[in-house]
Amino acid sequence: KSVDLHPTEPWMVASLYNGSVCVWNHETQTLVKTFEVCDLPVRVAKFVARKHWVIAGADDMQIRVFNYNTLERAHMFEAHSDYIRCIAVHPTQPYILTSSDDMLIKLWDWDRKWVCGQVFEGHTHYVMQIVINPKDNNQFASASLDRTIKVWQLGSSSPNFTLEGHEKGVNCIDYYSGGDKPYLISGADDRLVKIWDYQNKTCVQTLEGHTQNVSCVSFHPELPIILTGSEDGTVRVWHSSTYRLENTLNYGMERVWCVCGQRGANSVALGYDEGSIIIKLGREEPAMSMDSNGKIMWAKHSEVQQANLKAMGEAEIQDGERLSLAVKDMGSCEIYPQTIQHNPNGRFVVVCGDGEYIIYTAMALRNKSFGSAQEFVWGHDSSEYATRESTSMVKIFKNFKENKYFKPDFGAEGIHGGFLLGVRSVSGLAFYDWENTELVRRIEIQPKHVFWSESGELVCIATEESFFVLRYLAEKVATAQETKEGVTEDGIEDAFEVLGEIQEVVKTGLWVGDCFIYTSSVNRLNYYVGGEIVTVAHLDRTMYLLGYIPKDDRLYLGDKELNIVTYSLLVSVLEYQTAVMRRDFGMADRVLPTIPKEMRTRVAHFLEKQGFMQQALAVSTDSEHRFELALQLGELKIAYQLAVEAESEQKWKQLAELATTKCQFVLAQECLHHAQDYGGLLLLATASGNTTMVGKLAEGAERDGKTNVAFLTYFLQGKLDKCLELLIKTNRLPEAAFLARTYLPSHVSRVVNLWKESLGKVNQKAADALANPTDYSNLFPGLQEAFLAEEYLKETHVRLRPAAEYPLITVSRYTHILGTLW
């Protein structure tokens, strides 16, 4: 039976015929709270946000007050002697007004224990609705089935005056809240809606159209529209100045009982027999536009205002902060602007709304041309524009004169301006030549937006799911137009080349050079260049790109509340990236010095991703990045220099690997040394057969405690005593004993004694079980021969023989010795 919107929470309260009152969150579409009021219909429920209340009036004649936080009933009282139809909450005083089938209106003061402050008598039938005048809170109006509207003053119990004109009972009433007109609107069972001037007390307009009793009327508090609901199941939308019927909404939910708009928002709640609906009216996007010099124009209702970024002074600007701009009133517009758009050179602005457009001079807002059109787009050339008259007719204008009109083959559901004229239809997007309206190319895509780069070489086509970047091949188009080759019914096949598709939803966008800057559906401020996405900022709310001022290195954006914010984005970086994309390295080199040092690495990463490693290495200022690039490029000298600076073991290791693969062994050796990579050094030394190196490595390794490497290198050099000493030093006594037994029998006795001594500390028994050959020579057959062999081999072992000599050493010379040994 009624709906009301909360002023700050995303809540709608609905009172139902079955006696319940429900509070819904309309953002999450969930039921937040329910109040079981009574068994009879509850015809009205209202929020009183400043008290956290829901107040309900029901057919049991009771008013109930609930706290919506605690869900407790704060108060209840019998207000009337018949059904309660309506409650009006005073905007500032602690009052509510109630109206009833008992023909009375009553005022209640909650600060005085809900005392009835006044009774308003005069109606001779049910009082269906009461509404307080938003421009004068002491005045209110009432609608009654006695076919009249009465206007009352608080403090006076009889009506100030009565408006008569409806032929049947009046169900609903509303005040116009705009400043200019003293109007009331009413709806009645005569199926008519009437607009009244309550100053001269005449009916200024009657709106006909509803086919059943009119149950609710509303002047929208923000938009220039009137909403009316009826028992015929429709909600009609009328223009509030021309009274033209703009739209008829039919959601098939039976009879409409209430409409509730809200100040500062474009959502409207509708209450039906079978449920409630929240609709959003108008465009979310503000009517705002900026020219290339930083002049921003916007519409606040029909008032056009301008702000100049240049007048902002030198104050330090923070990214994302609201700018405080001096605003200049430009005058009001004859139509209610839904969009404002500067032409490319900024001399004119077009304002569109209500199916009409007016072109004004940007300087003085003087009208230059106007007409009716569903849509208006500027051309690439500042003197050109196109309008869409209907779903089949597109007109092209040049210098404010109609130049051509045409009927696109598949109709025109939308048009897109820019380098080519885009026409959207069920069959996709068709691009036409502005000059001769010839079809250039039809593409099977349903675009939301089309953005052309200034040069006309690149175009971004944004859909509901993603966006595509295409290159326009003007030369191929010219050739095809001449030769007629490659021309099909869908236009010139080679007209475009797809460069990429990105799975992001573009809300607003613009090109700077070859960089496409955009806001996305998840409130990112990004730009696309050469297949890469760079995020400039994460926005905390929906914002709309207005433009880019290269001189300031700044992007400007606006929001729904007409705030302007800015984010810095260096033009030098964009120019550089554009030059790279065009493979114009001469240009890139000229731009480079203007890029601040701290941005160089970002640019270098871009170069790297585009495959320009050498350039990336030259540009990068980050040593890590440069080292990586140098490695990838095999630039040993640069990598070496960076490794020296960084003193990082990891870098030396990487460089050693690279040097090895490049057969730069001297360098590899140095790197391995720096990296203290003894394993690597051992491999290098042995593989290259460099004895000096093996020798040095052995000493170094022992010094640094790399005993495994030290042992191996000593062993390779035949320095067996060193090996033995190393084992003893590291307390590897059993191993030492066996090494001695194998290669150095003269040391066996000494080592076994050390072993026994050491083992004795933990296990005397085990230590005793070890036999020293000096004491038990019987247990060590051939030991004497072994001493001899050791003596004999001493010289041979330590002699260094190049590998080339190996075949010359005859096995026989050794065999007799070997035979005695093993």
Ligand X SMILES: *[C@@H]1O[C@H](CO)[C@@H](O)[C@H](O)[C@H]1NC(C)=O
- Distances from the Cα of 455 to the Cα of 341, 381, 505, 553, angstroms: 20, 11, 24, 20
Q: How many CA atoms lie within 13 A of 216 on its CB side?
A: 27
Nearest-approach distance from CB 364 to ligand X, in angstroms = 11
Nearest-approach distance from CB 200 to ligand X, in angstroms = 4
Residue with token string 């019987």: 778
Other Cβ atoms closer than 10 A to 92: 7
Other Cβ atoms closer than 10 A to 518: 26
Nearest-approach distance from CB 37 to ligand X, in angstroms = 9
Interface positions with ligand X (CB under 6 A): 16, 18-20, 36, 153, 156, 160, 168-169, 189, 197, 200, 202, 204, 212-213, 231, 334, 358, 367, 370, 690, 692-693, 696
In whole angstroms, give the CA distance from residue 334 to residue 767.
Answer: 113
Nearest-approach distance from CB 16 to ligand X, in angstroms = 5
Which residue, 509 or 680, is less far from ligand X as judged by CB?
A: 680
Which residue, 305 or 481, is less far from ligand X as judged by CB?
A: 305
Which residue, 205 or 293, is less far from ligand X as judged by CB?
A: 205
Alpha helices in 248-389 (DSSP H): none
Burial of 97 (0-12, 13-18, 19+ CB in 10 A): buried
Contact 472, 491 (CB under 8 A): no
The residues with which 425 forms a beta bridge, in sequence order, are 428
Which residue, 189 or 504, is less far from ligand X as judged by CB?
A: 189
Nearest-approach distance from CB 23 to ligand X, in angstroms = 12
R_g (Cα) of the chain, nearest Å: 45
Which residue, 206 or 367, is less far from ligand X as judged by CB?
A: 367
Which residue, 155 or 705, is less far from ligand X as judged by CB?
A: 155
- Distances from the Cα of 820 to the Cα of 174, 258, 353, 720, 795, angstroms: 124, 118, 114, 21, 19
Q: Determine the distance from the C-alpha atom of residue 746 to the mean position of all C-alpha atoms in its chain, rounded to a whole number.
A: 82
Which residue, 139 or 481, is less far from ligand X as judged by CB?
A: 139
Helix axes 678-688, 649-661, angle to 10 degrees: 20
Which residue, 648 or 664, is less far from ligand X as judged by CB?
A: 664
Which residue, 56 or 534, is less far from ligand X as judged by CB?
A: 56
Long-range contacts of 759-764 (CB under 8 A, 24+ apart): 759/733
Nearest-approach distance from CB 333 to ligand X, in angstroms = 8
Q: How many CA atoms lie within 13 A of 215 on its CB side?
A: 23
- Distances from the Cα of 27 to the Cα of 12, 35, 561, 785, angstroms: 10, 21, 20, 99
Other Cβ atoms closer than 10 A to 166: 26
Which residue, 18 or 614, is less far from ligand X as judged by CB?
A: 18
Which residue, 36 or 482, is less far from ligand X as judged by CB?
A: 36
Which residue, 169 or 509, is less far from ligand X as judged by CB?
A: 169
Which residue, 201 or 582, is less far from ligand X as judged by CB?
A: 201
Nearest-approach distance from CB 337 to ligand X, in angstroms = 12
Contact 95, 78 (CB under 8 A): no
Which residue, 156 or 594, is less far from ligand X as judged by CB?
A: 156
DSSP state of 570: -
Which residue, 20 or 383, is less far from ligand X as judged by CB?
A: 20
Nearest-approach distance from CB 164 to ligand X, in angstroms = 14
Nearest-approach distance from CB 302 to ligand X, in angstroms = 12
Which residue, 604 or 709, is less far from ligand X as judged by CB?
A: 709
In whole angstroms, give the CA distance from residue 224 to residue 232.
Answer: 24
Other Cβ atoms closer than 10 A to 526: 20
In whole angstroms, give the CA distance from residue 26 to residue 16.
Answer: 17
**Which uninterrupted H or E stretch holds 410?**
none
Nearest-approach distance from CB 106 to ligand X, in angstroms = 19
Residue with token string 């701009």: 325
Nearest-approach distance from CB 345 to ligand X, in angstroms = 22
Length of the chain: 822
Nearest-approach distance from CB 204 to ligand X, in angstroms = 5
Nearest-approach distance from CB 475 to ligand X, in angstroms = 43
- Distances from the Cα of 148 to the Cα of 41, 129, 173, angstroms: 25, 12, 11
In whole angstroms, give the CA distance from residue 34 to residue 21.
Answer: 6
Contact 672, 654 (CB under 8 A): no
Nearest-approach distance from CB 120 to ligand X, in angstroms = 12
Which residue, 320 or 700, is less far from ligand X as judged by CB?
A: 700
Nearest-approach distance from CB 400 to ligand X, in angstroms = 13
DSSP state of 669: H
In whole angstroms, give the CA distance from residue 122 to residue 118.
Answer: 13
Nearest-approach distance from CB 188 to ligand X, in angstroms = 9
- Beta strand ranges found along 539-646 (DSSP E): 544-549, 554-558, 564-568
426-462 in b/e form (b: 16+ CB < 10 A) is eebbbbbebeebebbbbbeebbbbbbbbeeebbbbbb
Which residue, 39 or 433, is less far from ligand X as judged by CB?
A: 39
Query: Nearest 10 degrees: CA dihedral of 233, 237, 240, 245?
Result: -100
Nearest-approach distance from CB 160 to ligand X, in angstroms = 4
DSSP state of 322: B
Nearest-approach distance from CB 387 to ligand X, in angstroms = 14
Map residue 380 onto helix, strand or coil.
Answer: coil
746-784 in b/e form (b: 16+ CB < 10 A) is ebbbbbbeebbeebeeeeeeeeeeeebbeeeeeebeebe
